[in-house]
Structure 1
Amino acid sequence: MPDHREGRAPRARLLNPIAAVLLCAPLAQAEDERTTTLPVTVVTANPLGSDALSQPATRLDGDALRLRDATTLGEVLTGLPGIASTSFGPGASRPVIRGLDGDRVRLLQNGVGALDASALSYDHAVAQDVAGVDVIEVVRGPAALLYGGSAIGGVVNTLDQRLPRQALHGLEGAATVEYGGAASERLASARLDGGNGDYALHVDGFARRSDDLRIPGYAWSERQRAGLGSYHPPEHDHDHGHEAHEHEEHAESPQGTLPNSDSRAHGGAVGLSRTWDDGYLGLSYGAYRSNYGSVAEEDVRLDLKQDRLALGFARQGLAGPVREVKADLAYTDYRHRELHDGETGTTFKHRGYEGRVELRHAPLGPLDGVIGVQIGQSSFSALGIEAFVPDTDTDQAALFALEQWQLGGGTQLSLGGRVEYNRLSPDDGGNRRFAGVEARSFTAGSLSAGVVQPLAGGWSLAGNLAYTERAPTYYELYADGQHVATGTFERGDPDADKERATSLDAALRYQSGADRLSFGAYYSRFANFIALERTGRWCHSHGDHDHCGSVEHEGESPEYRYQGVPATLYGLEFDGAWRVYRSAARSVDLQLWGDVTRAERRDNDEALPRIPPARIAGAVVYGQGPLSLRAEVQHAADQTRVPDNDSATDGYTVANLALGYRFEGAGGAQWLAYLRGDNLGNEEIRYASSLTRDIAPQGRRSARVGVSVQF
């Protein structure tokens, strides 16, 4: 059974100077020959523990993860092949995988979904900080086989040690202190693990704080300052929307600093497990608190709270038809308040549980496999003037299976399937806006077939064919009202059908010592892509009803409606690293990666919104004893393929530099001191995947210094 603790770098690996500065590396694994020749199992993509994966996957752990530190999960992962960020300012950001975001990218903690409201709106943060994470695994492409329809674009799974999964003898731990960046960020984090061989205890905590983000020039883009930008700032003056709109048009853009972009967060966890040689039984409690400003509204802050209780059990080496069993259950209580000048405007709550049981059966000839069941229930509510979706209960149950055949010549075949039932039950709560909404039920099915074929000389071919279905979410069905945070008026489609996609993914890979190369292509054809389309009307809210017109200023916000459209997404990705020089004392590695994604409707050839542009990056990594240096240049092209009434983004070229020094302290503790420089050319960077790209750029030239220790 795969052990989630393998993400904790062993001490021999911590001494590797090249791994110490993989700040923006496309794949975060040590480049030393001792580690790259060993397979790294991505448990999210394959619970059977095989390192042969037909789907493209990325694993961040150890120093590589530490040195990509950022306030949000999206910013940590952006810049990896196929991965971008929604980036609603520095306080809120979700990953975008191959142009897909929201409920098409499944966010997991230790393999189980964690409830928050980040998929509902771009200004809602992911309720997690990477300071307490040991490993991040990203599976690109249709990963719905194991994790459901909301993983139709991919899976991001964070793994930690909060629920100990193996026996410990004595004490071990780690700590990090960091300062700098474009927002003068301060971070302190620590963890401690101990045990007597039978019981294992984990304790961790962190605190993070940042000031307003410093930016290279104007907050508003040139298009926005000229009145041509795609972002329409939200209004709160519901009695004087016309006058407020005119005033906003004549407002001046902030310069040098992004107002109301500061943030603070803290949290921690405690976990206790009974461990055996062949398994564990454990319980953990984790808390996360965050308060950050909305870059779209200078008087609005979001106050976020999440509590999570997790239970885990696993046994392996069993006799009989079931050889391994693994079960996880998590209950999450999430709430955030949107504060307007310190007063609560709207409160979002999301509470519920999700549980999974996986059984690995005994081999049947060449057949090895896992079958499992997943159940879940959640209750979402929004209370206040900005509630644009009704209270909704969601119930889910699913069965899934994954089987592998190991054939002659090293060929590996895989076949999997999943059937999932979802029921969404809304409650209008006496609000006339939601009167008449009805419960909907969906049964979604997914099938996947993959192959990995080794070739001569370290080369291999991998391919995956999948059919996936996704049930629409509560907001895609029932949204009806002013979405103040995004400056839009949204309407759902209560008659929406399932989203369906057929996807093909293929890659040519090479691995030999420290040298590696992967070149892949993907194609997804959606029969019913649920898109948020602009209708051309403008709407204004009046309590539980609204007024809409076809002329701007008849309403304060543009109307958008969820509707199913035929769509196609396709693209290319490549990623490679080569050791160009090595001596007894020095080494030089060259890294290169790039990606391009195209996404468009098939009925009118119009581009889908917020698709990242073509990108390419190269880096040189130099190591000499305990000293290491990494210099990288990334280039993003202009993004001009945008829908009507949307705005293009200019390309940029950004240079980053990282310097690291590793040394051993008293008691064998391993220390890493590092200095990191970002955006050294002071470029104006606006992500095409960000809704707020016209009003909130990325940070200016900055430096960050940190010290971490592991003992």
Structure 2
Amino acid sequence: MKLGKRTTMHTKFLFTISVSLMLVVSHISFADEVALDKVQVSASGQLLDDVAQPVRVFNQEDMQQQNGDTLGELLSSLPGISNASFGAGVGRPVIRGLSGNRVKMAINGTDSADVSAMSSDHAPMVDAANAEQVEVIYGPNTLRFGSGAMGGVINMADTRFHEMPLQGTRVRVQSSVASANEATSLSASLDSGFGQWVMHMDGFTRSSENFTDGNGDEVNNTSTESQGMNVGLNYIQANGNAHGVAVSLLNYEYGVPNPDNHNATVDPSQLRLDAQSVVFTPFANVEKIKTQFTYIDYEHGENFDDTVVGLFDKTATEFKSTLSLFDLGGWRTSLGVQLSLQDLDVCHDHSGCDAIPNYSDLSWDGSEGANLSNDIVDGYRFSHDTPMPLTQTQDAGVFWVMERDWAKGLLELGARLDQRTITADPVSIRPSYRQQASYYEDKTFDSASMSAAMTWRIDAQKIGVSVSRSQRAPAADEMYWNGDHHATFSFQLDNPDLDVETAYSLDVTWTYEQANYQIQSAVYYYDFDGYIFNDPKSIVDPFHGNPVYRNEQKDAWLSGAEWQLDYNLNPQWQWFVRGDVVKAQLKQGENKNLPRTPPLTTSTGVKWMFNQWQINSELKHYAKQSDVAENETITDAYSVVNVYGSYSQTLGASTLEFYVKAHNLTDEFGRNHVSYLKEFSPVMGRNVTLGATYQF
């Protein structure tokens, strides 16, 4: 099933949310005490102190204090994480300078299966409006999610699935308004238990207008609108086995800033169906088996002056089963299998895309098309038709993760084997623009990844060391896309000769904790064989005169550091310092710098808490980035001041909290070096948000 038009989805979302909230209000029972599941690190079920490689967790309170709604904005306050923004509607996290396919996005442990890694104007279909927590996972545990997550995994965990019975009902409602872009937001969630059944419902709606930058100028085409909902139903057996199903709908529409102020928008929509089963002690020596199934139906249109010039249709199916063994010789072991199938169809036509084109009725002898042969610049063939064939990507992987305590800490080991097969069908491309038939033959890639991590506890210190060899196969779009990208004002060339990318990494962490302060730090180094990167060419495309890029493979290295100090001055006051720096270069070439590498970032501030009151203030500095790639401009330094204050009041079994937050309080003008659109979309100016959260 393919989704309907955005306007239809919009109406369905609002209707469903309204009805859901009315049902919530009319059927809530307060008689029973709430006993919710404890949300743990979703990758392994462990507590944070029980993992060798650090896992950063962002909870609801952390997210409430941040400016913006995208994952990139929410997580960018963490050391080592940047926001690859594309206007106000897109914010994909960049971890240690790595992004795209090297940072895996997941929802409750399974792939988000969107197209956000394909292009910077595509929004991740992971929304934290009603999330319990967002986890940033490194080290061996990333192997549970798939191959190629060299930067890490962003996993959004919510409560659509429950593995423990729930007595009573929990409701959370949040609403806010903001000044710089006239943003409004409303979200609500409900978890309710009745007998052996547990139900989850949540929904949200958000909208914003064009924002103003630090100079007071309006940034055109930065308005956004989004709605979403999740419904889950779980059955927990008397023996502890838990089974659940969930359905999710998510819809965005956002503007794309551009130099000519055209009305350019993108409107992705996604239907997601999930099923999960947890069975305890099914066999001897087996603690539990967790099985997950996900089906996703995704589409988005790219609109230019009210014409749909781009259309993306994607369906994805994923099956994952993880078997956890009882302790054997002190080792806690998990084994798993993960299978996925993804179909991607695209249309790109200046005259309009009503559907994915099908030219199967046109004859073709398997030779290269005449138009493709004529449009050659510098030896590269330029297509002015559907930019890539229909593709199907089949992934099959097995993984093994084990851990044990030792006298001074924890040891973790992991390994994963994957095979990817990509099938291409040129039926959507007119024969005059097709490559030779051999170009579309199936491609198969085998990859193997291994990781080990260990911690040592020495009095108040904890030292962690992680080493890994990670591989990732190229994605279909990295190999086959040959066409214009309106949103990025560029032309992307194909490269069917891409091969498996390999990274060797070393990560060392140090934590020192005393009664009134804690220091956390990390240094890391990545060595890449065949690093896939979008290489700018010294030509323009023959159709639009846009810059030309092509995915190439060259050896590269990346290194950096992160640090954080939290110092309790007294029971009410805390002072903190945070920062990160990363350097990324090719090993050969005249200009070795890789593009959009995050600048040195530092921040300092104080937190004050007293009874129901809390005030946080922060000064964050983004240094000048002069280590730029070819055809990339230097980005000047800037600083922002952020302030957050809240007051909470307990009302019987409920809690009411009011909050105010001011982002970029001094109205500083700046540009985000990690953004493709830094020249057209500066950072937002002063933005004051008022909000309230009610929980019972």
TM-score, normalised to structure 2's length?
A: 0.86
Shift of 1:69: 5.5
**Which position in structure 2 is the counterpart of 1:55?**
53
| Cα separation, partners in 2 of 1:322 and 1:50, compared to 1, 3 Å | farther
Task: Give the C-alpha shift of residue 140 in structure 1.
Answer: 4.4
SS at match of 2:74: helix
Residue 643 of structure 1 corresponds to 629
**The one of 570, 574, 581 aligned to 2:559:** 570
Q: Distance in 1 between matches of 2:692 and 2:46?
A: 37
Q: Which amino acid aligns with 1:280?
A: A
Map of 2:435 onto structure 1? 435
SS in 2 for 1:130: coil
Deviations 1:195-229 (A, max 9, x none): 21300111111110101111122xxxxxxxxxxxx
In structure 2, relative to structure 1, the CA distance for the partners of 1:128 and 1:595 (3 Å cut) is same
Alignment partner, residue 529 of structure 2: 527
Give the CA deviation at 1:164: 3.1
Q: Cα–Cα, structure 1 residues 50 and 370, in superposed 2: closer, same or farther, change >3 Å?
A: farther
Contact 1:171 1:195 in 2 (8 A): yes
**Using the alignment, how far apart are the partners of 1:265 and 1:561 within structure 2?**
33
Q: Partner residue of 2:638?
A: 652
Distance (Å, rounded) in 2 between the aligned partners of 1:407 and 1:80:
30
| One-letter identity of the residue aligned with 1:275 | I
2:87 is matched with 89
CA offsets 1:112-137 (integer angstroms, 9 cap, x no match): 00221211111111123221211100
Query: Which residue number corresponds to residue 245 of structure 2?
Result: 283
The 8 Å contact of residues 141 and 414 in structure 2, kept in 1 or not, is answered as: no
Match of 2:647 in 1: 661
Which residue, 342, 349, 354 being the options, matches 2:318?
Answer: 354
Residue-by-residue CA offset, 1:133-173 (whole Å, 9 max, x unaligned): 11100124686522223312111000011233321222211
- 8 Å contact kept, 2:523–2:560: yes
Contact 1:143-1:152 within 8 A present in 2 as well: no
How far apart are residue 84 of structure 1 and its match? 0.3
Counterpart CA distance in 1 for 2:62 and 2:91 is: 20
Q: Which residue of 1 aligns with 2:340?
A: 376
CA contact (8 A) 1:171 1:194 kept: yes
2:229 to 268, 277, 281: 268
- Which residue matches 1:483? 485
Counterpart pick for 1:320 among 277, 284, 290:
284
Structure 1 stretches lacking a partner, 5+ long: 1-38, 218-254, 542-554
Tell me if structure 2 keeps the 8 A contact 1:434–1:480.
Answer: no
**In structure 2, what residue type is equivalent to 1:480?**
N
Change (3 A) 1:153 1:401: same
User: Residues 513, 426 of structure 1: CA spacing in aligned structure 2 closer, same or farther, 3 A cutoff?
Assistant: farther
Q: Please, which of 472, 475, 479 is the counterpart of residue 474 of structure 2?
A: 472
Q: Which residue of 2 aligns with 1:501?
A: 503
Q: Does 1:628 align with 2:614?
A: yes
Measured in 2, the distance between the counterparts of 1:575 and 1:95 equals 19
Match of 1:151 in 2: 149
Give the alignment partner of residue 200 of structure 1, picking from 198, 201, 205: 198
Does structure 1 retain, via aligned residues, the 8 Å contact 2:140–2:414?
no
Aligned partner of residue 595 in structure 2, secondary structure:
coil
> For 1:216-295, what aligned pairs fall within 5 Å after superposition?
216-217=214-215, 256-276=217-237, 278-295=240-257
Shift of 1:636: 1.1
Aligned in 2, Cα 1:495/1:105: closer, same or farther, shift over 3 Å? same
Residue 666 of structure 2: aligned partner: 681
**1:472-494 CA distances to partner (integer Å, 9 max, x unpaired)?**
01111111111222111111210
Is the 1:183–1:210 contact (alpha carbons within 8 Å) kept by the matching residues of 2?
Answer: yes
Partner of 2:4: none
Kindly state the Cα deviation for residue 707 of structure 1 after the two structures are TM-superposed.
0.2
Question: Which whole-Å CA distance do the structure 2 matches of 1:121 and 1:143 have between them?
Answer: 27
Q: Find 1:700's aligned residue among 678, 685, 688.
A: 685
**Aligned position for 1:406:** 405
> 2: distance between equivalents of 1:181 and 1:330?
39
**1:258 aligns to what SS in structure 2?**
coil
Q: Residue 518 of structure 1 corresponds to which residue in structure 2? A: 520
CA distance in 1, matches of 2:444, 2:170: 49
Residue 42 (1) aligns with residue 41 (2): yes
| Residue 391 to residue 649, structure 1, CA distance change in 2 (3 Å) | same
* Cα distance in 1, alignment partners of residues 81 and 481 from structure 2: 28
Distance 1:43 1:162 in 2: 13
What one-letter code is carried by the residue in structure 2 that aligns with 1:445? Answer: A
Hey, what's the Cα distance between the residues in 2 that align with 1:260 and 1:301?
Answer: 8
Q: Structure 1 length normalisation: TM-score?
A: 0.84
Deviates more, 1:682-691 or 1:123-132: 123-132
Aligned to 2:127: 129
Question: Are 1:380 and 1:391, in contact at CA under 8 Å, matched by a contact in 2?
Answer: yes
Alignment of 1:599-610 (within 5 A): 599-604=584-589, 606-610=592-596
Asked if 1:538 is matched to 2:540, the reply is: yes
1:503 CA displacement: 0.2
CA distance in 1, matches of 2:181, 2:496: 42
Matched-pair contact (CA < 8 Å) for 1:480–1:491:
yes
Residue of 568, 586, 590 corresponding to 1:579: 568
Change (3 A) 1:110 1:434: farther
Instruction: Measure the CA separation in 2 of the matches of 1:634 and 1:594.
Output: 9
Code of the aligned partner of 1:710: Q
Which amino acid in structure 2 is aligned with residue 647 of structure 1? Answer: T
Tell me the distance in 2 between the aligned counterparts of 1:503 and 1:598: 14
Contact 2:147–2:416 (Cα < 8 Å) also in 1: no
One-letter code of the match for 1:702? N
Question: CA–CA distance in 2 between the matches of 1:576 and 1:312?
Answer: 40
Aligned-pair CA distance for 1:317: 5.2
Q: Partners of 2:204 and 2:660 in 1: how far apart? A: 21
Query: How many residue pairs were aligned?
Result: 615
Give the distance between the partners of 1:621 and 1:454, measured in 2 at CA: 29
Deviation at 1:49, TM superposition (A): 5.2
Structure 2 match to 1:301:
265
Contact 1:142/1:468 (8 A) holds in 2: no
Q: Secondary structure at the match of 1:315?
A: strand
Letter aligned with residue 449 of structure 1: A
Distance 1:472 1:48 in 2: 32
1:630 to 1:647, Cα distance in 2 relative to 1, 3 A: same
